[in-house]
Amino acid sequence: MQPIPLDTKIEQRQPPSSAEGGAGGAGTLPNLYDFTLEELTDFIKQLGQPTYRAKQIWEWLYINFAQSFDEMTNLSKSLRETLKRSATLSTLTPVVTQHSSDEQTVKKLFQLPDGQLIETVLMGYEKRQTVCISTQAGCAMNCVFCATGQMGFYRNLTVGEIVAQVTHFCRELSDEDKRLTNIVMMGMGEPLHNYANTIAALDRITAENGINLGARKITISTVGLVPAIRNYADEQRQTPLAISLHAATDEERGKLLPINRRWKIADLMAACHYYIEQTGRRLTFEWALINGENDTIEQATALGALLEGMLCHVNLIPLNPTGGFDGGPSSRERVDDFQATLSEYGVSSTVRVRRGIDIQAGCGQLRDRAIAEAYQVKGSKIDFG
Ligand code: SAH
């Protein structure tokens, strides 16, 4: 696995509330969700237990979505007590739960053992249950219209912290006789900036002896870290990628996405073509339509020319409002004109229905007021020049 594909070192920052911790000092104990089955087996052996216990615990974690050791009733009471002293199970402490007015979207704010705060969103549809998960506390990419980008970067999430967001909602859904059907890695953070943990989480979520979600049911969204996209293409995985493009000229993209100063659109598109060649998979491009900014016919024409003939699809998302950015969503008419221009180039597109806007659970809105208040120390940001 390659290291983080950015040559800039980025500092991890702690929120001021970190001393209190989120799960009663649990941060010092190993989190069972961070272990592979082999690691869990080693851990169980170290506790002097037979190895089949690891398999039992694994099933409690990934098939029954247990939230406490006491639920693991096929383990002896004394083993459960030993586990309580030597490991943690639930490192995500729910602090705030918000339901959208239509009740279809639920957003949870979780506190991690070191005080970091992250958000996860469940979107219920008629036939799908999609969880939008975070891969970092904060984000270093600094996209101007994104609330997480505005807060800066605190730290990478561990594999267990990424996976536990999924099992948390799997548990809630199973209590309602529902099943998780899809995952989007579109919450807080840049998944490919936390490459190794994101990929390990993907493997965990798709493992047949656990959650067993189809690899194609997950989408990784990236701001466009060019070396990481190439690396991901080489891995030939089935999990699709979505690329946050948002502008089709370097001048416009550079204003919205500072990363474009490091990798220009031509570099990004070369990596995208490489991905399609390597995997034969269709790419999705995301485009937040900002009124009067990137929703012009010039941008639509440039985008059409850029993507013409490519195996791809464009998701158009009228901008969701965020505190640190003045722009607004495009009008219906401008969205229609934009889409019509794309179709002249044979480029297919969908206008995404915005979800959970009344609870700030839409794309780019993840930074709860509670987070803003807790993080008085600004997160770090990469200076892309
Ligand atoms: N770091 C990843 C995932 C972030 S969020 C990425 O950049 O792709 C998922 C999507 O929401 C991205 O396409 C992101 O650009 C978009 N987004 C961010 N802020 C938004 C906003 N205010 N309105 C609409 N979409 C937004």
261 within 8 A of 254, measured Cβ to Cβ: yes
Domains 32-86 and 93-376 share a fold: no
385 band by pLDDT with thresholds 50, 70 and 90: confident
pLDDT of residue 270: 98
Residue 242 CA: nearest ligand 1 atom is 8
Residue 243 CA: nearest ligand 1 atom is 8
Q: Regarding predicted confidence, which is higher, 4 or 230? A: 230
Q: Regarding predicted confidence, which is higher, 382 or 133? A: 133
Token pair of 229 as six digits: 């996209």
Q: What is the CATH number assigned to the segment(s) 93-376?
A: 3.20.20.70
pLDDT > 80? residue 198:
yes
Instruction: Mark whether 119 is an active-site residue.
Output: yes
Predicted confidence (pLDDT) per residue in 63-99, tens digit: 999 999 999 999 999 999 999 999 998 789 999 899 9
Distance 82 CA to ligand 1 centre (A): 43
Instruction: Tell me the mean pLDDT in the region 244-250.
Output: 98
Token pair of 237 as six digits: 């995985």
Predicted confidence (pLDDT) per residue in 321-332, tens digit: 888 899 999 999
265 within 8 A of 250, measured Cβ to Cβ: yes
pLDDT > 60? residue 1:
no
Round to whole Å and give the CA distance between 234 and 275. Answer: 8
For the stretch 98-102, contacts whose Cβ atoms lie closer than 8 Å and that sit 24 or more positions apart, written own/partner, are 98/359, 98/361, 99/359, 100/355, 100/356, 100/357, 100/358, 100/359, 100/361, 101/358
Instruction: Mark whether 190 is an active-site residue.
Output: no
Across the chain, what does the average pLDDT equal?
91
> Residue holding tokens 């983080």?
4
Does the beta carbon of 322 lie inside 6 Å of ligand 1? Answer: yes
Does the beta carbon of 320 lie inside 6 Å of ligand 1? Answer: yes
Structure pTM?
0.93
For the chain, give every domain's residue range: 32-86, 93-376
The CATH architecture assigned to 32-86 reads: Orthogonal Bundle (1.10)
Which residues, 6 or more positions from 40, have their beta carbon under 8 angstroms from its beta carbon? 32, 54, 57, 58
